[in-house]
Amino acid sequence: MSGGSGWHRFAETFLNTSVMLKYLPDILSGVLVTLELALLVVVTGIAAGLALALLRSLALRPLNWLIIGVVDLFRSLPPLVVIVLIYFGLPSIDVAPSGFVSTWLSLALVLMAFSEEIFWAGITSVAKGQWEAARSTGLSFGQTLLNVVLPQAIRLTIPPLTNRTIAITKGTALGTVVAVTEILGQASSAMSNSYNPSPLMMGAAAYLVLFLPVVVAGRFIETRFAWKR
């Protein structure tokens, strides 16, 4: 290979056109699975986190201990451990979730835990005077929470929530461990079948296409919602 430049050799190995064309359909189907998984995780994880934060604001002692316990548990466990526990552990009690469901559940639980903490921090950071003003006009606890406190809390939570959501959504790649055919899973099996790392490059490109817009949108949302009081 005396004639080939470094770049040429790199391209031959990592950006091999024939390999890429062959495995493009697999990668694309992986993109769909990742997209599906990511959307499910984001919607259910954030909804569950918000629900827990609202429950916590009721200030019922035993319930709050329970919420804090669950939240701290899922914030400390690595998502991979949760996935493995659900996928390999639950069958022993006769529940056998698929790899897809295990990954979804695990990441949703982790996102729930982090977003609960973020929402809770947002709710508690709204000034006490806001509650007092609203309650003094006759608004109930729930009306005050929904109409006055939550809209302000959510504004404060959007930047940290966006970051956390992106980080956890990328964890969909962990699904490859439990045979989910998402991007990384497709890419690595294509890589072993073709003895060539080009599919991995396609996978990386797919992640960029999927997540870069989200990251950029997150940046935009952060500036948009940083409003002065």
Positions in the binding site for other proteins (CB under 8 A)? 127, 129-130, 132-140, 143, 147-148, 151-152, 155, 227-229
Q: Between 13 and 137, name the residue whose CB sits nearer to other proteins.
A: 137
CA dist 18 and 22 (Å) reads: 6
Question: What are the helix (H) ranges across the chain?
Answer: 6-14, 17-57, 61-76, 79-84, 99-125, 128-136, 141-144, 150-170, 183-194, 198-225
Is residue 194 a contact partner of residue 184, using CB atoms and an 8 Å limit?
no
Contacts of 192 by beta carbon, 8 Å cutoff, 6+ apart: none
CB nearer other proteins, residue 17 or residue 147: 147
Q: How far is the CB of 155 from other proteins (least distance, A)?
A: 7
**What are the backbone dihedrals phi and psi of residue 166, each rounded to the nearest 5 degrees, phi first?**
-60, -45
Is there a contact between 149 and 61 (Cβ–Cβ < 8 Å)?
no
C-beta of 2 vs 136, nearer to other proteins: 136
To the nearest whole angstrom, how small is the minimum distance from the Cβ of residue 107 to other proteins? 31
Nearest distance from residue 143's CB to other proteins, in Å? 5
Least separation, in Å, of the C-beta of 72 and other proteins? 29
- Residue 92 Cβ vs other proteins, minimum distance, rounded to whole Å: 49
Cβ proximity to other proteins: between 83 and 153 the closer is 153
Q: Does residue 188 sit in helix, strand or coil? A: helix
Q: Rounded distance, CA 53 to CA 115, Å? A: 9
Nearer to other proteins, 22 or 135 (CB): 135
